[in-house]
Amino acid sequence: MPAWHLRRPVARALCLAASLLAHATTQHAQVLRWSAGQPGCAFQAADDGTYRYALATDDFSVTLAMDAQELEKARRRVEPILGLFLSVRFLKQNPALDPGKISLEFVRHFHTTEPPLDRAVLAARLQADDKKTAATAAREVLKHPEEKDEIEAALKAQQENTSRMTGWARARSLQSASPQSREASGWLLFAARTRWIGELNRREEFLLRIPLGGVVVEFPFNLPPSQDDLRLRTRGADQTSDR
């Protein structure tokens, strides 16, 4: 029997073994999910529309921050991207935070999960889009020379937006934290339109998962914020006024 006939079953067996191992690893991880009113869980709504969800244990504290209008803002960007700000403080041992293992679940879109966008990949994608737009603009100018100024102005605006976004992503994206680090913070950028996600609804449900060693921290949230969030905000405002 040719050797390649033997390699196929072996490859399938290896893939199955890897899949079972990954499933077993996930099953054994302790899950800590943010829940209003539970010990260690806090919620804060700032006057500028920033919402913060915090979860603290004896080993670490994690804070997730977002703009209440982030979903609407994502639609207006050059690339449909959702931005979430994450900060982690390690009180004991740092399990080496890896942003690449974080995932965002789009609950209403077949529970599709997306990893954070790599800043280099994002920059390359945006620059490729700019090149296509520039080529299209050049053809349009040839067809409609009377609209040259308008077409070139639109192209320039897109290129400037691309430059700002790529520079911002390079400088502010969350990076891996070494075991020696005690704090890590930065932005997580997620593709908001893919083959599986498609068009976003006016209101979406999300679940952010953050692996920290043998623990997975989960933050369920809605954009725009739900009525439960608004009640939490009102309660927080009342408590503040009492002080």
Condensed to tens digits (0 to 9), the pLDDT of residues 191-208 reads 888 888 878 778 899 999
Model confidence at 232, pLDDT cuts 50, 70, 90, reads low
- What radius of gyration, in Å, describes the C-alpha atoms of the chain? 22
Contacts (Cβ under 8 Å, ≥6 apart) of 9: none
Q: Which residue has the higher pLDDT, 80 or 230?
A: 80
Reading the block at residue 89, the tokens are 């403080």
pLDDT score at 127: 86
Reading the block at residue 208, the tokens are 């952010």
CATH class of 29-116+173-243: mainly beta
Q: Which residue has the higher pLDDT, 227 or 116?
A: 116
pLDDT score at 241: 36
Q: Which of 89-98, 186-195, 213-222 has the lowest mean pLDDT?
A: 89-98
Model confidence at 211, pLDDT cuts 50, 70, 90, reads very high
pLDDT score at 25: 43
pLDDT score at 238: 42
What digits encode the pLDDT tens for the residues 27-68? 567 999 999 999 999 999 998 999 999 999 999 999 999 999
**Phi and psi dihedrals of 200, rounded to 5?**
-80, 150
pLDDT score at 67: 94
Strands 215-223 and 30-33: parallel
Is the pLDDT reported for residue 145 higher than 80? yes
Mean pLDDT of the chain: 81
> What's the DSSP call for residue 147?
G
Strands 60-67 and 81-90: antiparallel
Residue 195 C-beta-side C-alpha neighbours within 13 Å: 0
Task: From 183, 179, 174, select the one nearest 91 (Cα to Cα).
Answer: 183
Reading the block at residue 184, the tokens are 């890590």
Model confidence at 240, pLDDT cuts 50, 70, 90, reads very low
What digits encode the pLDDT tens for the residues 99-135? 999 999 999 888 899 999 988 888 888 888 889 999 9
Q: Which of 1-5, 131-135, 182-186, 229-233 has the lowest mean pLDDT?
A: 1-5
Is the pLDDT reported for residue 84 higher than 90? yes
Is the pLDDT reported for residue 231 higher than 50? yes
| Nearest-angstrom CA–CA distance, 162 and 79 | 9
Reading the block at residue 240, the tokens are 């503040």
